[in-house]
C-alpha cells in the first residue's frame, strides 16, 4: 500500500526523530544522592546503574545503607525520566501536533 507523499514524508520525519531521540537518550548521564550525599549513584539514559559511591560512615549500618542505595537509585530513575520527557516534548513540539497528544 502506497501512502500519499505528505504521509510518507511525515513517517520518514517521525523515524528520524525517533532515531535522534534514541541517540540523545543514550548520551544521558545523571547523578543522584541520598542521605545528604552519603550514597551517590550514577545512571545512564537506559537506566543502567553505572556507579555507586558510599561514604564509609554508613557502611556499618547495613539496613540504612540499603535504604539509601534504593533512595538514590529511585531518584536517578526519576531524573532520567524527566530528561527523556523534556527531550520528547521538545521534539514533538516541532511537529505541530495538538497539545496532549503525547
Write down the domain spans for the chain. Answer: 28-93
Q: Which CATH architecture best describes the domain 28-93?
A: 2-Layer Sandwich (3.30)
CA distances from 48 to 14, 26, 27, 38, 63 (A): 26, 11, 12, 20, 23
Q: Please determine, for residue 102, whether its predicted confidence score (pLDDT) is greater than 50.
A: no
Query: Average pLDDT, stretch 47-62?
Result: 93
pLDDT band at 7 (very low <50, low <70, confident <90, very high): confident
Q: Report the Cα–Cα distance between both ends of the chain, in Å, rounded.
A: 27
37 Rama class: left (phi>0) / alpha (psi -120 to 50) / beta: left
Q: What is the pLDDT of residue 80?
A: 95
CA atoms within 13 A on the CB side of 66: 3
Q: Say what the pLDDT of residue 31 is.
A: 97
**Residue 63 CB coordination number (10 Å):** 7
Amino acid at each position: 500500500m502506497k501512502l500519499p507523499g505528505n504521509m510518507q514524508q511525515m513517517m520518514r520525519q517521525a523515524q528520524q526523530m525517533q532515531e535522534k531521540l534514541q541517540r540523545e537518550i543514550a548520551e544521558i548521564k545523571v547523578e543522584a544522592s541520598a542521605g545528604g550525599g552519603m550514597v551517590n549513584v550514577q545512571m545512564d539514559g537506559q537506566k543502567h546503574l553505572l556507579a555507586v559511591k558510599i561514604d564509609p560512615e554508613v557502611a556499618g549500618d547495613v539496613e540504612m545503607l540499603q535504604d539509601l542505595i534504593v533512595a538514590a537509585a529511585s531518584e536517578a530513575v526519576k531524573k532520567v525520566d524527566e530528561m527523556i520527557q523534556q527531550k520528547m516534548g521538545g521534539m514533538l513540539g516541532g511537529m505541530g501536533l495538538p497539545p496532549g497528544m503525547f
